[in-house]
Chain A
């Protein structure tokens, strides 16, 4: 009798589960509407082999299914059967330290330009096999191949890019903003925000002086340091993401920041405008790379290929807000987004833009 009772219970529990699954299925089917470009690549290769890859990315730097966006990692798992372990870092240096400790194996990482250079120099990146990344030839903009940090284009695939310009509040700043000089303008003393990392701060000072951001000349660096010292009494605070709040609430008037975040700040405060300084700006690229010491390079390359599928790259662009180097994704954007002068500036800005390169230790220390 008792056994029978237990059986009934288990059976009804199973039925409940089955019902739940059925109820969940239509919801899943709805999300399944994505179509991916699978020509020239075998996404099924690792299915059923219990393969997993470790992806190490910036925080909030991929579409994760919020606001009806695609859940990129989930879609990749569904498509290939490869499990994605996804973790985040906050700075290039943090990522570098984790990698260098040798304790953890990562398969896909997303260092910025100068960090890609550093990792290549130290022999920590694997040469990519582009046979597994056909989307690279198909969709990645030629302007983002073979950049200075990876001159032969063997190690990295550009993921996002952007520029650093000046954000300012039009109700508080009456002068025309077209130069880094505004960050040294006495009239706005106490209302200026500045980057709290030395590389960005020095980059701006060097540009203002007309030098290269990648200079290793001690005298030029000294001049830039003096300029920053001179600026210090005018600066309200040295910050990073607090810029969102301070500019949004009108607590500060001027700040240098990433073009990709302009839309987000403008949503809070419509008085905020964006300007490209005429002396030239910093153009950054965050790229997908595979460390030499990884678990499964081929699976990692499949993931990078997947990221460059136009549908995926478009979803990532919508979530992150930074410019996409993927021509297929740009195709999918509406006219307004494509023509956005902040996200996709013309050659007059990009022509004079510079990308951070890896500097020698001595120069870094000097900063």
Chain B
């Protein structure tokens, strides 16, 4: 094939530059997680100490646990809510659909701080006790649009006749939904879920406003260390998270590549 031309030197160089820009900071962080001294500037010797200490540090571990719990519950709930919402929006008329989609975009474009403050005011108004519950509700709120935005294109791509065919063949609407629609839009649901998961794991600003005295997420805990000095255990933790996410991605890609190949074979 002709379009698989060899890359020119310039193109290669540019690509290396882009990826160096993206990954160098992470590399530095990982290197310093093995640094013997607490310094972030002088590398004085190699050690695994920070990794060992990390797992004994209750403050960091409980914050990590909170973060994981909040992110998981919020993204699962948001995926369910968002998927159903997308199905509903998809069934609307053209005008109504574009209107509702614009409303969906709004929270995504809106500065996070506005959402954070308004959620805080809402919770104060409703006399909620700030804690895990408020964190989870807030995270679901900002996660839902991401799921809708990821599921919507898959729904639009889907051939509507498939549902009709399923109905013809004896499915009731619920069966048709679970047996035909869901499998068809699954990639969209998955990417929506993953996006919601990462956004809510990352989130600082909104959590900052709605966290309470009983639960603090990891980004909040790290931020609070800046008066003294952020501990190198955080480097170690970040390195571990990076490795976990990287391997998950690799595994996911391997599986989907294999599935694609077997599909291709079956198609032939």
- Interface, chain A (partner B; CB < 8 A): 54-56, 58-61, 64-67, 71, 74, 85-91, 101-106, 240-241, 244-246, 248-249, 251, 261, 264, 267-269, 320
Known A59-B228, A105-B129; 7 more pairs at CB < 8 Å: A59-B223, A88-B224, A101-B120, A104-B213, A244-B38, A245-B41, A249-B41
Q: Is B168 an interface residue (CB 8 A)?
A: no
- In the complex, the chain A residue whose C-beta lies closest to that of B123 is A103
Interface size range of chain B in the complex = 35 or more
- Listed by A's residue number, 28 A-B pairs whose Cβ atoms lie within 8 Å are A58-B224, A58-B227, A59-B226, A59-B227, A59-B228, A60-B227, A66-B56, A71-B58, A74-B58, A87-B214, A87-B215, A88-B221, A88-B224, A90-B223, A90-B225, A90-B226, A90-B227, A103-B120, A103-B124, A103-B128, A103-B130, A105-B213, A241-B227, A241-B230, A244-B229, A261-B228, A268-B38, A268-B42
Instruction: Check B212–A264 contact: CB distance below 8 A.
Output: no
Task: Give chain A's interface secondary structure class.
Answer: mixed
If A241-B228, A261-B228, A269-B42 touch, whether A65 touches B120 (CB-CB below 8 Å) is no
Instruction: Check B124–A249 contact: CB distance below 8 A.
Output: no
- In the complex, the chain B residue whose C-beta lies closest to that of A244 is B229
Complex Cα–Cα for A293 and B176 (A): 55
Instruction: Check B216–A88 contact: CB distance below 8 A.
Output: yes
Q: Is B97 an interface residue (CB 8 A)?
A: no
B118 CB, min distance to chain A CBs, angstroms: 13
- In the complex, the chain B residue whose C-beta lies closest to that of A89 is B224
Q: Is B39 an interface residue (CB 8 A)?
A: yes
A91 proximity list for chain B (CB < 8 A): 227
Instruction: Check B53–A66 contact: CB distance below 8 A.
Output: yes
Complex Cα–Cα for A244 and B42 (A): 11
Instruction: Check A245–B40 contact: CB distance below 8 A.
Output: yes
Instruction: Check B227–A264 contact: CB distance below 8 A.
Output: no
Instruction: Check B223–A244 contact: CB distance below 8 A.
Output: no
Interface centre among B56, B59, B216, B231, by most chain A C-beta atoms within 10 angstroms, is B59
A88 proximity list for chain B (CB < 8 A): 59, 216, 220-221, 224-225
B47 CB, min distance to chain A CBs, angstroms: 14
Complex Cα–Cα for A90 and B58 (A): 19
A281 CB, min distance to chain B CBs, angstroms: 19
Interface centre among A54, A65, A103, A245, by most chain B C-beta atoms within 10 angstroms, is A103
Complex Cα–Cα for A268 and B232 (A): 14
- In the complex, the chain B residue whose C-beta lies closest to that of A269 is B42
Q: Is B3 an interface residue (CB 8 A)?
A: no
- In the complex, the chain B residue whose C-beta lies closest to that of A249 is B41
Q: Is B37 an interface residue (CB 8 A)?
A: yes
B221 proximity list for chain A (CB < 8 A): 59, 88
Instruction: Check A102–B124 contact: CB distance below 8 A.
Output: yes
B88-144, CB < 8 A from A: 120, 123-124, 128-130
Q: Is B8 an interface residue (CB 8 A)?
A: no
If A65-B58, A87-B213, A244-B40 touch, whether A104 touches B130 (CB-CB below 8 Å) is yes
B39-67, CB < 8 A from A: 39-42, 44, 53, 56-59
Complex Cα–Cα for A307 and B238 (A): 32
Instruction: Check B224–A59 contact: CB distance below 8 A.
Output: yes
Complex Cα–Cα for A85 and B58 (A): 12
Instruction: Check A267–B38 contact: CB distance below 8 A.
Output: yes
Complex Cα–Cα for A269 and B44 (A): 11
A26 CB, min distance to chain B CBs, angstroms: 17
Q: Is B152 an interface residue (CB 8 A)?
A: no
A87 proximity list for chain B (CB < 8 A): 211-216, 220
B225 proximity list for chain A (CB < 8 A): 59-60, 88, 90
Complex Cα–Cα for A127 and B17 (A): 61
B220 proximity list for chain A (CB < 8 A): 87-88
B61 CB, min distance to chain A CBs, angstroms: 11
B227 CB, min distance to chain A CBs, angstroms: 6
A240 proximity list for chain B (CB < 8 A): 226-227
Instruction: Check A85–B230 contact: CB distance below 8 A.
Output: no
Complex Cα–Cα for A66 and B124 (A): 37
Q: From A90, A244, A261, A320, give the contact of B224 (CB < 8 A).
A: A90
If A87-B216, A103-B212, A268-B42 touch, whether A241 touches B130 (CB-CB below 8 Å) is no
A243 CB, min distance to chain B CBs, angstroms: 9
B183-223, CB < 8 A from A: 211-216, 220-221, 223
Complex Cα–Cα for A103 and B57 (A): 29
Complex Cα–Cα for A187 and B123 (A): 55
A103 proximity list for chain B (CB < 8 A): 120, 123-124, 128-130, 212
Complex Cα–Cα for A67 and B57 (A): 10
Interface string of B17-40 (1 = CB under 8 A from A): 000000000000000000001111
If A54-B213, A64-B59, A102-B124 touch, whether A244 touches B226 (CB-CB below 8 Å) is no
Complex Cα–Cα for A240 and B228 (A): 9
- In the complex, the chain A residue whose C-beta lies closest to that of B221 is A88
